[in-house]
Amino acid sequence: MEDQYIHLLFFVAFILLLLDCNSLDTISANQEIRDGKTTLVSEGEMFELGFFSPGKSKNRYMGIWYNKISYGTVVWVANRETPIADRSGMLKLNRQGNLVICSGGNPMVWSSNPVESMQGNNSVVVAKLLDTGNLVVLDDNKTIWQSFDYPGDTYLPGMKFGKDLVTGLQTIMTSWKSPDDPSVGVYSDIHDTNGYPQNLRFQGEVLIGRLGPWHGLGFSGFPLDKTNQIYSLDFVMNENEIYHIYKLKSSIAQRIILTWDGRTLTLQWIERIQDWIVYAESEVDNCDRFSLCGAYGICNINKHPPCSCMQGFEPRHPEEWEGSDWASGCKRKKPLTCGDGKGDGFLKIPGVKVPDTRRSWYNESMTLRECEIACKRNCFCTGYANLDIRNGGSGCLLWLDELLDTRVYDGDQDLYIRMVLDNLDMGRGFSLG
Ligand SMILES: *[C@@H]1O[C@H](CO)[C@@H](O)[C@H](O)[C@H]1NC(C)=O
Ligand SMILES: *[C@@H]1O[C@H](CO)[C@@H](O)[C@H](O)[C@H]1NC(C)=O
Ligand SMILES: *[C@@H]1O[C@H](CO)[C@@H](O)[C@H](O)[C@H]1NC(C)=O
């Protein structure tokens, strides 16, 4: 009941704010947006920018929220760590293209600090709120700063999530501390570019989850309806940037949110009920917990217990393993011969979410056969797989460390793990070098 009351108050506050406001979609240098006086509204009225208070908080933040649908649902906050205690907040764009928030007592509550410099002294700078929810600063029509590069807890369609290799800028999603406090909470999602890129989830400093690397059609181990009419997912990797991007195919509204308590939800707006429903949730079962089964363990959610050792491996600490504590993982029954590699072969494990790729190496043009040879030549190589599963498979991904966080997955990606030849079950797929 109390919650509903608060929601009502929140809603009324927004309506009052709306009535009181003049709305534009662009501000020019030295124009300002004042708390309670002005807001920006994107051209098609999808999003609005202004000052607000989240949940039960009385603090004021500058942010962007939905306008046409789901009025007041916040998608981005500027001064997350520096709230304003009163209604003296003001957003300005200065001549240098820097967005600055100030308040009665503080000339610099927050600033955008554009990465790219201005074109010249006579160039025209404006800040514009787009219908995608992106706030951009344009210098003679060139984007010198955009809020999409600095997401908070919300990922909107059209955002690039990854790393700009030229500027070093990396997008990170961070949860709010609580529904009433948008300051940086304990959960974060990052597109990690060590080894072959993959998305990692942290709780503080601890790695707790992983979306598998891109395999051409989607993320390894991530359910994707390939024929869906709602969205498309893409992955781009070149010398300038590495990112994935998600786009909507229709006018349906979706957003992905990292909740304050660590869930990643894809939410979809349903016009009929005027509310968001959970369209998809990543991390839904035990096998999604990072490395639940330890090194060389393999997680199968349809088995009880879910953890087992890969073939040719046995529990490192059987007592712990018996007690359902699988974290110490598995060890080889027989050590690799390595040396010239002649005594080693590979066992195929079909249909998996491939292991953690932070300590991996890859080549996009090598064949599976070349990949096997490359793996065999390297004493540290523990396994390999095709990088791209499309058209019968291409590219080489090989692991240079213990295999962590592998799970049985009803997908199309196969993993080849290294072991001594006489450990291979000859009836199963294997190959000689
Ligand atoms: C802008 O003006 C300053 C001072 O007048 C000058 O030093 C600088 O070179 C100018 N920059 C450009 C890009 O024109
Ligand atoms: C910026 O874009 C607008 C609209 O497309 C155009 O009219 C204007 O000439 C452009 N300005 C510059 C400096 O390119
Ligand atoms: C990838 O492999 C191909 C074929 O073996 C080779 O020509 C190419 O140089 C390799 N690329 C990199 C970046 O190692």
The residue to which tokens 């070349």 are assigned: 370
How many residues make up the chain in this entry? 433
Under 8 Å CB-to-CB from 337, ≥6 apart: which residues?
343, 344, 420
Q: How confident is the model at residue 413 (pLDDT cuts 50, 70, 90)?
A: very high
Residue 90 has pLDDT above 50, yes or no: yes
- Ligand 1 geometric centre to CA of 123 (Å): 11
* Side chain identity at residue 149, one-letter code: D
The residue with greater pLDDT, 433 or 374, is 374
CATH 2.40.30.10, applies to 1-149: no
Which residue's C-alpha comes closest to atom 12 of ligand 3? 363
Say what the pLDDT of residue 425 is.
Answer: 54
pLDDT of residue 430: 46
How far apart are the C-alpha atoms of 38 and 24, rounded to whole Å? 8
Place of tokens 């349903």: 270
CA of 164 to the centre of ligand 2 (A): 26
Q: Do domains 1-149 and 151-284 have the same CATH topology?
A: yes
Note the pTM of the prediction, 2 decimals: 0.86
CA-CA-CA-CA dihedral for 13, 19, 24, 29, to nearest 10:
-70
| Domain ranges for the chain | 1-149, 151-284, 287-431
For range 60-84, the mean pLDDT: 97
Ligand 1 atom nearest the C-alpha of 119 is 13
Q: Which residues of 159-169 are buried (b: 16+ CB within 10 A; e: fewer)?
A: bbbbbbeeeee
CA-nearest residue for atom 10, ligand 3, is 363
121 C-beta closer than 6 A to ligand 1: yes
Cβ(285) – ligand 2 distance below 6 Å: no
Query: Number of H helices and number of E strands within the chain?
Result: 3, 36
Classify residue 99 by burial, with Cβ atoms within 10 Å: 0-12, 13-18, 19+. buried
- Ligand 3 and 121: CB distance under 6 A: no
Mutation pick for ligand 1 pocket among 118, 121, 122 (CB with most ligand atoms within 8 Å) = 121
CA of 124 relative to ligand 2 center, distance in Å: 10
Mean pLDDT (whole number) for 384-407: 96
120 lines ligand 1 (CB under 6 A): yes
pLDDT value, residue 20: 44
- Give me the architecture of the 151-284 domain, per CATH: Orthogonal Prism (2.90)
How confident is the model at residue 276, as a pLDDT?
97
pLDDT of res. 4:
59
45 lines ligand 2 (CB under 6 A): no
How far is the centre of ligand 3, averaged over its atoms, from the C-alpha of 369 (Å)?
A: 14
Q: Tell me if 363 CB under 6 Å of ligand 3.
A: yes
Whole-Å CA distances, 33 to 10, 48, 51, 313: 21, 12, 9, 63
Please state, rounded to an integer, the average pLDDT across all residues of the chain.
89
Q: How far is the CA of 11 from the centre of ligand 2 (A)?
A: 38
What is the model's pLDDT at position 282?
78
Q: What's the average model confidence in pLDDT over 3-15? A: 54
Kindly report the backbone phi and psi dihedral angles of residue 305, in degrees, each rounded to the nearest multiple of 5, phi listed first.
-70, 160
| 353 token code pair | 């979410």
324 lines ligand 1 (CB under 6 A): no
Pairing mode, strands 297-299 and 406-408: parallel
